[in-house]
């Protein structure tokens, strides 16, 4: 093949961010904005583009652009691609272009969706036939470079789609979603670094082991109820449990003024419940509610960066034409 493309979805964590980094299960679902990566065979140099950010490397892996003393934000993707090609005995240059509709640094898994789509597109370009496990393995390499010590939840859901109960790499099960097909997403527009938020919570857990364990036990009950609610299609109960999860995240110190403002705004629409999603500190707040509450979401688009309702449990990574 001379050209190939693949897309992967964003995600929202319905319950359990941060607890999942400590090995507790989290409930996550794929959502509709997607990232697309287009690749084609190249000569003598490898080029990766994302909007107006460009990285160029020589055949031998030397950074040609930007100049070596300037940080290349696309380096983790290049490193992932190099490893993927090396391990599959491909010695070639390529050109890649990234088109992502998923807001970045907002808790919606944009970097993982890009890494997963990238790995799949390269697999298609060189006819490698990589399955989901291999795609996830390579995407995890880029995720570690982007975020430090991620749990791996983002690349798993980007590759597999649907909804998952996720406890760690390769340790997950699919969850059936009954009735709840939509979710409201409000982006505070405040960008934050996942690695810093994760480090903050891990520090809390290290300094207050007993409190953290009690919180995690309580979270376990919230999760059990949330799973039951999701499987039975009880959106009102799921919403209430999401709010309880949000309260735990507040105590862990990962909420913020902007997040609380978004939380209040969503609850003001008559949602059943709301919570921050992803690392927190900014990013997005999600909510579930009765149909009438979604209808009023656009009222908030003046005050926040983006407000949208999206379909959940959509398909994972796929090849694109």
* Separation between Cα atoms, residue 7 and residue 281, nearest integer Å: 28
User: Which residue's CB is nearer to ligand MEV, number 32 or number 154?
Assistant: 154
The nearer residue to ligand MEV, 55 or 280, going by C-beta atoms, is 280
- The kind and range of the H/E element at 182 are strand 182-187
- To the nearest whole angstrom, how small is the minimum distance from the Cβ of residue 156 to ligand MEV? 10
- Among 111, 97, 113, residue whose Cα is nearest residue 51: 97
Whole-number Å distance between alpha carbons of 266 and 34: 24
150 binding ligand MEV? (CB under 6 A): yes
Tell which positions 22-41 bind ligand MEV, by CB under 6 A: none
Residue 12 binds to ligand MEV (criterion: CB under 6 A) = no
Among the listed residues 79, 124, 154, 217, the single catalytic one is: 154
Question: Hey, CA dihedral for 157, 52, 149, 214, is it positive or negative?
Answer: negative
Pairwise CA distance, residues 62 & 5, whole Å: 25
Binding mask of the shown chain, residues 259 to 298, with x at each position contacting ligand MEV by CB under 6 A = -------------------xx-------------------
Burial of 146 (0-12, 13-18, 19+ CB in 10 A): buried
* 256 touches ligand MEV by CB under 6 A: no
Q: How many helices (H) and strands (E) does the chain have?
A: 9, 13
Q: What value does the CA radius of gyration of the chain take, rounded to a whole number of Å?
A: 20
Stretch binding ligand MEV (CB under 6 A), from 64-72, 83-91, 146-154, 223-231: 146-154
User: Is-catalytic flag, 154?
Assistant: yes
Host H or E run for residue 271: none
- Helix 235-251 and helix 209-232: axis angle, to 10°? 160
Q: Is 124 in the site for ligand MEV (CB under 6 A)?
A: no
Which of 15, 20, 30, 158 is in the footprint of ligand MEV by CB under 6 A?
Answer: 20
Q: DSSP secondary-structure letter at 20?
A: G
Are 187 and 305 in contact, with CB atoms under 8 Å apart?
A: yes
The site map against ligand MEV for 186-225 (x = CB under 6 A) is: --------x---x---------------------------
Whose Cβ is closer to ligand MEV: residue 8's or residue 13's?
A: 13
d(CA 321, CA 312) in angstroms, rounded, equals: 23
Residue 248 CB, shortest distance to ligand MEV, in Å, is 13
User: At closest approach, how far in Å is the CB of 17 from ligand MEV?
Assistant: 4
Q: Which is nearer to ligand MEV, 33 or 55 (CB)?
A: 33
Q: Which residues bind ligand MEV (CB under 6 A)?
A: 13, 17-18, 20-21, 109, 150-151, 153-154, 194, 198, 278-279
User: What is the set of active-site residues?
Assistant: 154
């Amino acid at each position: 093949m001379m050209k190939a493309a693949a897309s992967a979805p964003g995600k929202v964590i319905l319950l359990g961010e941060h607890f999942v980094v400590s090995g507790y299960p989290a409930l996550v679902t794929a959502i509709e904005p997607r990232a697309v990566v287009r690749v084609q065979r190249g000569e003598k140099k490898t080029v990766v583009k994302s909007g107006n950010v460009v990285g160029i490397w020589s055949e031998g892996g030397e950074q040609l652009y930007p100049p070596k003393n300037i940080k290349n934000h696309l380096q983790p993707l290049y490193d992932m691609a190099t490893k993927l090609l090396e391990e599959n005995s491909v010695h070639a240059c390529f050109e890649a272009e990234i088109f992502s509709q998923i807001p970045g640094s907002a808790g919606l898994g944009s970097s993982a969706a890009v890494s997963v789509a990238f790995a799949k597109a390269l697999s298609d370009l060189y006819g490698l036939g990589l399955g989901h496990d291999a795609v996830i393995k390579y995407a995890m390499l880029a995720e570690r470079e982007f975020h430090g010590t991620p749990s791996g939840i983002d690349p798993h859901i980007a590759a597999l789609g649907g909804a998952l109960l996720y406890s760690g790499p390769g340790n997950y099960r699919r969850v059936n979603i009954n009735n709840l097909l939509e979710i409201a997403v409000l982006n505070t527009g405040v960008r934050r670094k996942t690695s810093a938020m994760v480090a903050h919570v891990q520090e809390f857990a290290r300094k207050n082991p007993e409190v953290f364990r009690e919180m995690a036990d309580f979270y376990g009950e919230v999760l059990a109820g949330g799973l039951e609610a999701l499987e039975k299609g009880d959106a009102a109960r799921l919403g209430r449990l999401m709010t309880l999860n949000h309260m735990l995240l507040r105590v862990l110190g990962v909420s913020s003024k902007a997040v609380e403002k978004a939380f209040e705004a969503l609850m003001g629409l008559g949602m059943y419940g709301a919570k921050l999603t992803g690392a927190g500190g900014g990013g997005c707040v999600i909510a579930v509610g009765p149909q009438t509450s979604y209808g009023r979401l656009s009222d908030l688009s003046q005050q926040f960066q983006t407000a949208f309702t999206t379909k959940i449990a959509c398909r994972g990574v796929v090849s694109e034409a």
